[in-house]
Amino acid sequence: MAENKKTLIVVVGPTAVGKTAMGIALAQHFQTEIISADSRQFYKEMTIGTAKPDALELAAAKHHFIDSHSIEDEYSAGDFERDALSLLETLFEQHDVVVMVGGSGLFVRAVCEGLDNLPKAPVEVRERLNARLANEGINVLQEALKEVDPVYYATADIHNPQRVIRALEVFEATGQPISSFQVSGGADRTFNTITIGLNMPREALYERINLRVDKMIDAGLVEEVKRLFAYKEKPALLTVGYAEIFDYLDGHISLEEAVEKIKQNTRRYAKRQITWFKKYGNTTWFEPNDQEGILTHLVTQM
C-alpha cells in the first residue's frame, strides 16, 4: 500500500449474504461511516423491496446514499461517481478509513475505477426503447444488443433492462457500440481500495433469499408496490421484487406465482452478482461470519 493514503474498504457480494451487517461491524471497528453503493436504496419510496438497513442498523453506523433521492429523480452511476467522490473527500478529512457496501457492480466500479464519459441519448430514444421493452419484452432488446454490440453483450448484465436500454441508446445516438467507449485502466484515485467479497454455500444463500422474500411479503411489499404503480416504467422499478408484483397487480399472474418468481429471479440475480464480482478487481473472499479473518486481512493490506 502507498504511504499516507486513505483507505476505502469495499464490501461486495450477492444479495442477502450479510453485507449490511459486515459493513456496520467494520464501520464500528474503524470508527467511521458507510457509503451505500446499492442502486435502489437511494430511493426513499423503495424500502421493503430493496432490503434497506432498518432503523437500528442505521443508528449503529452513519450511512450515506440511503433515502437520498426520489424515484422521480434520474440518478445514474455517473452521478453517483461524482457525488460519492465528493463525499469521500469530506469524509477522509475526518477518517483514515471509509466503508462502502453494495451489490451493484457498476456503482462500485464507478467509485473505485471511474466510468467512461458516455454520450447522452435524446429523451425520445429512451422513451421509444422503454416502449419496446413494455410491448415486446426484454428478449427482443437483448437480441438487438447482441447484433449491434456482441462484445458488450458477452460481458454485461443483459438481464437488467436498464443496462440493455442504455447500451442501445448509445448505439442509436452515436452509431457506435457502447463497448467502443470503454477504455482499459481505471481513473486515478487519491485513496487505496481494499475489496472484501462475502459468499457462502449456494444452498445456504438460496435459503436466506427465500426467507427474505417471505419476510418482505409479510412486511407489506405488495402495498409498497401499489403506492409506486404510477412510476412502474421507471428503470429502478423494472427490477426484481417490483416487476413481479406489478405483473400480479396487472392481473397477469397470481400473488403466489409472483412470490415464487421473485425468489427465482433473486437467486438468479445473486448468481450474476457472484460472477461479476469474481471477475472484478482484486476481491478477497470470506464467509460472512468470518469477521476476525477479514480484520486480519485488512490489517495486512493497510
Residues of each annotated binding site for ATP:
13-20
Helix, strand and coil in the chain, % to nearest 5:
55, 10, 35
Do 50 and 20 contact (CB within 8 A), yes or no? no
Do 35 and 99 contact (CB within 8 A), yes or no? yes
Report the C-alpha gap between 39 and 71 in whole angstroms. 11
Calculate the dihedral angle through the C-alpha atoms of 73, 79, 81, 85, rounding to the nearest 10 degrees.
-90
Beta bridge mates, 278:
none
| Residue 135 burial (C-beta neighbours within 10 Å; 0-12, 13-18, 19+) | exposed
- Cβ contacts of 49 within 8 Å, gap of 6 or more: 40, 216, 221, 224, 225, 241, 242, 245
- List, as residue ranges, the binding site: 13-20
**Residue whose entry in the numeric block shows the C-alpha cell 453506523:** 61
Q: Which of 74, 17, 11, 9 has its CA nearest to residue 211?
A: 17
Q: Which of 14, 163, 29 has its CA nearest to residue 101?
A: 14
DSSP letters, 23-90, are HHHHHHHTT--EEE--TTTTBTT--GGGT---HHHHHHS-EESSS-B-TTS---HHHHHHHHHHHHHH
Report the C-alpha gap between 123 and 29 in whole angstroms. 46
- List, as residue ranges, the binding site for substrate: 15-20
